[in-house]
A = this chain, B = another copy of it.
Amino acid sequence: MPLIVQKYGGTSVGTAERIRNVVARRIARRADAGDQLVAVVSAMGDTTDELIALARQMTGDPEPRELDLLLSTGEIVSAALVSLALNDMGYPAVALSGAQAGIRTDTRHGKARIAGLDPKRIRSELDAGKIVIVAGFQGITEEMEVTTLGRGASDTTAVALAAALKAGRAEIYTDVEGIYTADPRLVPEARKLNEISYEEMLELASYGAKVMHPRAVELGAVYRVPIYVASSFSEAPGTLIHGDTATGGRGMEQRNKVMGIAQDTDVARITIRGVPDRPGIAATLFEPLGENGISVDTIVQNASVERLTDLTFTVSRSDLERALEIVRPIAQQIEAPQVLADTHLAKVSIVGAGMTSGPGYAGRMFRALFEARINIELITTSEIRITCLIDEKQVPDAVRALHKAFALAAE
């Protein structure tokens, strides 16, 4: 019997009424089709934010361990409610906390990583004919400490369960109908993709497409779990993220193609002027940032003039203050005279497998932005992505211009 892991998040678990009429009904319909089912659920509506607000009434600086114990209750409530609704509809179901589901993690509270998964309990419930509802976003350490996997990580729970249970695929039901060639709120003619490769999805997710958590995509790629993203509210076909072939399942003639446009306005830029151009300087700067959990993106070093260079990089805006606290004393120490910061930039990216091996993508991107009178402040590239930093106000124009330039509206 095929085994499917589903995940329900977003507004589908927003209210008790929707938990019953959307989530439980969809699960029931899938069970009618004869599949064995495991469903991962997020916390209801604003529950997580409300719990954080309660914690903030206690302290400005909550202990991560206590906060995890607190926050984990949100998903347990959802899971129990879905199970109650299914049982009421005549579908035997059982709700499991992360701990009961056998999701073992490391001890990094608030951002724990899954260390292993013991599917014994889930298997025995499935074998007993039950639908298994798992509280997302959480796990347990060897010492029985409750951990959370970080925000949005219920996707990760679902993909990890699919991998451990060798499920046919992980289905992520959310508020959008799938992965689009660009944000449909900016580009009305954006087209829904039937399929996309893990790598492309990872770039889209990492560079601003909010549909899927990048960690979940990464996990899917490593364990080769096909991930299907679709709407909780409609029957419209969604997007399958997979890696069947090097082309991501597409025909060979389509491989040198831009698949989508991503944008990300959560960008802060830091520039250190007059950095001495000698070995080890980059490590001196970036190691302390990494140790403090600050992700650095888009590092650019200018050509050296008189053994001095400018070093520019970006971080997320919420990390800017902490990043500056770390960078400023180091700049002083290495006798760099100036540290500049600004938050008016944003990223636009074009993503597509095999892009850099194909000719002319970068040129077409720069020309499209130029013709839309958009100035490019920084450029970075990966194997399958080209990113330009531009003025935040010009993001909608840039995305529309790129979507048009690469003819993404056409199939």
Contact = CB atoms under 8 A, between A and B. Distances in A.
A390 to B, nearest CB: 42
Given A66-B80, A81-B70, A83-B66, A58 B100 contact: no
A310 to B, nearest CB: 42
A77 B55 CA distance: 9
Contact of A88 (B24, B60, B70, B144): B60
Contacts of A61: 88
Oligomeric state, in copies: 2
Contacts of A121: 144
A54 B94 contact: no
A3 B72 CA distance: 30
Given A20-B57, A20-B58, A88-B58, A70 B63 contact: no
B69 A51 contact: no
Q: Which of A24, A51, A60, A62 has the most CB of B within 10 A?
A: A62
Interface in A322-336: none
A73 B84 contact: no
Contact of A84 (B63, B99, B144): B63
B67 A55 contact: no
A245 interface: no
Given A85-B58, A87-B59, A51 B77 contact: yes
Contacts of A80: 55, 66-67, 69-70
A76 interface: yes
Interface string A1-29: 00000000000000011011000100000
Interface in A104-123: 121
Contacts of A99: 99, 144
A337 to B, nearest CB: 40
A55 B76 contact: no
Contacts of A77: 51, 54, 70, 73
Contacts of A145: 100
Interface residues of A, number: 41
Contacts of A24: 58
Interface in A173-230: none
Q: Which of A54, A60, A76, A99 has the most CB of B within 10 A?
A: A54
Contacts of A76: 69-70, 72-73
A79 B88 CA distance: 31
A147 interface: no
Q: Which of A17, A72, A84 has the most CB of B within 10 A?
A: A84
Contacts of A70: 76-77, 80-81, 84
B87 A63 contact: yes
Interface string A64-102: 011101101100110111011101100000110101100
A91 B84 CA distance: 40
B84 A55 contact: yes
Nearest to A88: B59
A85 to B, nearest CB: 4
Contacts of A57: 16-17, 20, 81
Given A73-B76, A99-B144, A100-B144, A67 B54 contact: no
Given A66-B80, A66-B87, A100-B145, 20 more contacts: A16-B54, A20-B57, A51-B77, A54-B77, A55-B81, A55-B84, A58-B81, A58-B84, A59-B87, A59-B88, A61-B88, A63-B84, A66-B84, A69-B97, A70-B77, A70-B80, A70-B81, A73-B77, A100-B144, A121-B144
5 contacts: A17-B57, A60-B88, A66-B83, A67-B84, A70-B76
